[in-house]
Amino acid sequence: MSAAAEAIRLALVGNPNCGKTALFNLLTGSRQKVANYAGVTVERKEGRFHAPSGRHYALLDLPGAYSFQAASLDEAVTRDLCRGHYPGEPAPDVIVCVVDATNLRLHLRFALEVRDLGKPMVLAVNMMDAARRRGIEVDLDALERELAIPVVPTVAVRRDGAQALVARLDAMLAADSGARVAPPAGTATAESLHAETRRLLALAVTMPRRTAKIDDTLDRWLLHPVLGLASLAVVMFLIFQAVYAWATPMMDFIEAGMGWLGEGVGGAMGEGPLRSLLVDGIIAGLGGVVVFLPQILILFAFILALEESGYLPRAAFLLDRMMAGAGLSGRSFIPLLSSFACAIPGIMATRSIQDPRDRLATILVAPLMTCSARLPVYALLIGAFIPAREVWGVMNLQGLVLFALYAIGILSALAVSWVMKKWRRDKGEHALLLELPSYRMPHPRDLLIGLWERAWIFLRRVGGIILAMTVLLWFLLSFPAAPVGAPGPAIDYSFAGRIGHAMTAVFAPLGFNWQICIALIPGLAAREVAVSSLATVYALQAADEEAATQALTPILTDTWSLATALALLVWFVYAPQCISTLATIKRETHSWKQVGIAAGYLFGLAYLASLLTYQVAVLLGLG
């Protein structure tokens, strides 16, 4: 194969936590493309780099796998691609199997499986610097001799840490050796793979102790049944606070920027449908999507840092038994926690859940977490209908109601996941098998590349659908125009207004009037839009949402009953009123069926809970 030929396809494979992605980032830098494999949610990462020889390489970072006896969709994709059986994907020219020099007892077993494919292959023994610090000696020459494949050292966190690998690839291809290996002598059994791993370890590896001393010391505290959970609670509290507090200035800046853009475009155009489409539809729609980006980046910065540090698997281990009773796994905790800020990053964070069943269950219950978009509605209704008095002399009644709404969402999510567990065909418990990697400091380069990938994925995958839906809602709210001299707000005569009046036949048992029904329609774009929508319905002229809230409070107090307010509060606990969340479910599951299930059960819960709340409140004389 000559240097003038087309790009040489390399496939990086290895166990999770072997440093494979760090090596991929080191070789390709920003020259990466992230997509999904056809028909599945598994990420496809491909990058390119040029070797000093002038050869052009296309590098594919395959999902982490422990075995070709696939237990997850990720492992199945890796297996089929390495074998050259994946539809639409050409077989790699060379497989680069990455192993962790500090954990060869586990990683060499998978390397033997890869070798037995009989494909051109190189073994990259990564984290050699960490191995030396722990006094681990690896005889690379002995490994190369026994495995009959090229073996090279790498340190993915150093700028020159992949030079030996690139030089070996160039030398192999220049000699046209193809990194040949002996053809496999039949299918290896698990017992034979373990036996061969033990033989290689005894021959080529000297290890003073199986685990690092610092790992044992930290795990003694962080995996303790009491202290470990307390430490995890502190970590999660910091994440929770950061996603709220750190994102607020950036979100305000984005909102101000989009407002400035809308005012500039609106001021340069005359009144008319085109101006309304651009300002109220497209610009407002884009702003509604981009405003979530700071929360996305802050959340994933923590998740990536926890994952790179080796702490995330330990958090999942601590919580697994607790969450298994509700039909979830320990890996579901962080995605559900992040959904308190926004369900979109929470659903995206479920990619860390390997079991497809647990991942789907987590995706479907994530919208029940009380996201920040509900807070404007809660603040409006609680401030208008719940008196600000003390309870038992120490607690505020309004604060207790807000806490109760959060608690209802959490308990409902656990209940729904428990019901899903009872209904699904696979009723067995899926054991949580985790490798606890060594603790290490996250590398800034890998964090920045990971954040860039997440930002681009979010904007590309969600933005298109949100923009289309927002334009559709703008159309429903804007046409047809009100007749000349018509009394009341123009929205009363629009398609949305007519739909609102028609909806009262369905929502009257919940105590919802036609104004509430209209507000629910634009609330599909984002829950907090319901506040400004109510202001529009009641023909209020408000400069901003805060002013709208202040003006709305006396009107709602005079025109709504407490039973209606309570029913609407409960409605917002459950209702699938966020198109962006449903769009993200579609993107992550590649299934309209799952979108329908999520929207259907959430609407059903919202309706039944609101109906019960309203009818009981009326019976208690609150109507």
Query: What CA–CA distance (Å, rounded) separates 18 from 136?
Result: 16
Q: How confident is the model at residue 60, as a pLDDT?
A: 96
Which residue is it, tokens 């430490």?
Answer: 231
Average pLDDT of the residues in 571-584: 84
Q: How confident is the model at residue 431, as a pLDDT?
A: 60
- Asked whether residue 496 carries a pLDDT value surpassing 90, the answer given is no
Cβ atoms of residues 405 and 370 within 8 Å: yes
Q: How confident is the model at residue 294, as a pLDDT?
A: 86
Burial tier of 537 (Cβ tally within 10 Å: 0-12, 13-18, 19+)? buried
φ/ψ (deg, to 5) at 390: -85, 145
Reported as a single tens digit per residue, the pLDDT across 303-360 is: 888 888 888 778 878 877 778 878 887 778 878 877 876 788 788 878 767 778 888 9
Q: Which two tokens stand for residue 256?
A: 């101000």
φ/ψ (deg, to 5) at 590: 55, 40
Confidence bin at 504 (pLDDT 50/70/90): very high
- Asked whether residue 546 carries a pLDDT value surpassing 60, the answer given is no
Average pLDDT of the residues in 205-226: 84
Q: Which one has a higher pLDDT value, 288 or 543?
A: 288
Mean pLDDT of the chain: 82
- Give the 3-state secondary structure of residue 100: strand
The widest CA-to-CA distance across the chain, in whole angstroms, is: 93
Average pLDDT of the residues in 598-602: 94
DSSP letter assigned to residue 330: G
Query: Peptide bond preceding 444: is omega within 30 degrees of 0, i.e. cis?
Result: no
- Asked whether residue 176 carries a pLDDT value surpassing 90, the answer given is no
Q: How confident is the model at residue 115, as a pLDDT?
A: 94
Cβ atoms of residues 55 and 173 within 8 Å: yes
Amino acid at 131: A
Burial tier of 565 (Cβ tally within 10 Å: 0-12, 13-18, 19+)? buried
φ/ψ (deg, to 5) at 98: -100, 130
Percent of the chain with pLDDT over 70: 84
- Asked whether residue 208 carries a pLDDT value surpassing 70, the answer given is yes
Q: Which two tokens stand for residue 394?
A: 């120490």
Q: Which one has a higher pLDDT value, 204 or 325?
A: 204
Q: Which one has a higher pLDDT value, 144 or 29?
A: 144
- Asked whether residue 149 carries a pLDDT value surpassing 90, the answer given is yes
- Asked whether residue 178 carries a pLDDT value surpassing 50, the answer given is no
Q: How confident is the model at residue 164, as a pLDDT?
A: 94
Q: In 12-139, which residue ranges form alpha helices assigned H by DSSP?
A: 20-28, 73-83, 104-115, 128-133
Confidence bin at 426 (pLDDT 50/70/90): low
Average pLDDT of the residues in 482-494: 75
Count the Cβ atoms, other than its own, within 10 Å of residue 408: 17
Q: Which two tokens stand for residue 25?
A: 């980032």
Average pLDDT of the residues in 125-138: 92
Which residue is it, tokens 């992230």?
Answer: 34
- Asked whether residue 393 carries a pLDDT value surpassing 70, the answer given is no
Cβ atoms of residues 351 and 357 within 8 Å: no
Average pLDDT of the residues in 71-84: 86
Query: What CA–CA distance (Å, rounded) separates 45 from 65?
Result: 15
Cβ atoms of residues 421 and 427 within 8 Å: yes
- With residue 537 as reference, give the H or E element that holds it: helix 529-537
Cβ atoms of residues 499 and 521 within 8 Å: yes
Q: How confident is the model at residue 429, as a pLDDT?
A: 58
- Asked whether residue 542 carries a pLDDT value surpassing 60, the answer given is no
Count the Cβ atoms, other than its own, within 10 Å of residue 237: 11
Q: Which one has a higher pLDDT value, 522 or 327?
A: 327
Query: What CA–CA distance (Å, rounded) separates 336 from 319?
Result: 13
Cβ atoms of residues 340 and 349 within 8 Å: no
Cβ atoms of residues 102 and 127 within 8 Å: yes
Q: How confident is the model at residue 622, as a pLDDT?
A: 85
Average pLDDT of the residues in 37-61: 85
Q: What's the N-to-C CA distance of the chain in angstroms?
A: 81
- Give the 3-state secondary structure of residue 155: coil
What angle, rounded to 10 degrees, do the helices at 444-478 and 20-28 form? 80
- Asked whether residue 499 carries a pLDDT value surpassing 50, the answer given is yes
Q: Which two tokens stand for residue 312?
A: 């995330």
Cβ neighbours of residue 200 closer than 8 Å, sequence gap 6 or more: 104, 108, 143, 146, 147
Which residue is it, tokens 């009123």?
Answer: 577
Average pLDDT of the residues in 193-205: 93
Confidence bin at 540 (pLDDT 50/70/90): very low
Q: How confident is the model at residue 57, as a pLDDT?
A: 95
- Asked whether residue 252 carries a pLDDT value surpassing 80, the answer given is yes
Amino acid at 117: L
Query: What CA–CA distance (Å, rounded) separates 26 from 161?
Result: 8
Query: What CA–CA distance (Å, rounded) separates 471 from 525?
Result: 10
Percent of the chain with pLDDT over 90: 31
Q: Which one has a higher pLDDT value, 486 or 317?
A: 317
Confidence bin at 404 (pLDDT 50/70/90): confident
Confidence bin at 472 (pLDDT 50/70/90): confident
Query: HSE-up of 93 (CA within 13 Å, CB side)?
Result: 18
Reported as a single tens digit per residue, the pLDDT across 158-169 is: 989 999 999 999
Q: Which one has a higher pLDDT value, 374 or 552?
A: 374
Instruction: DSSP for 42-79, please give it.
Output: -EEEEEEEE-TTS-EEEEEEPPP-S-SS-SSHHHHHHH
Q: How confident is the model at residue 173, as a pLDDT?
A: 82
φ/ψ (deg, to 5) at 391: -115, 125
Query: What CA–CA distance (Å, rounded) separates 277 from 471?
Result: 7
Average pLDDT of the residues in 537-561: 63
Lowest mean per-residue pLDDT among 25-39, 279-293, 328-342: 279-293
- Give the 3-state secondary structure of residue 328: coil
Query: What CA–CA distance (Å, rounded) separates 122 from 180?
Result: 10
- Give the 3-state secondary structure of residue 610: helix
Cβ atoms of residues 154 and 98 within 8 Å: yes
Q: Which one has a higher pLDDT value, 121 or 300?
A: 121
Confidence bin at 280 (pLDDT 50/70/90): low
Query: Strands, E, within 356-485: which ranges?
Result: 390-391, 395-396
- Asked whether residue 46 carries a pLDDT value surpassing 70, the answer given is yes
Q: How confident is the model at residue 364, as a pLDDT?
A: 94
Nearest to 119 by CA among 145, 83, 143: 83
Burial tier of 544 (Cβ tally within 10 Å: 0-12, 13-18, 19+)? exposed
Dihedral of alpha carbons 223, 227, 229, 233, sign: negative
Query: What CA–CA distance (Å, rounded) separates 345 from 293?
Result: 9
Burial 483-512 (b: 16+ CB within 10 A, else e): eeeeeebbbbbbebbeebeebeeebeebbb
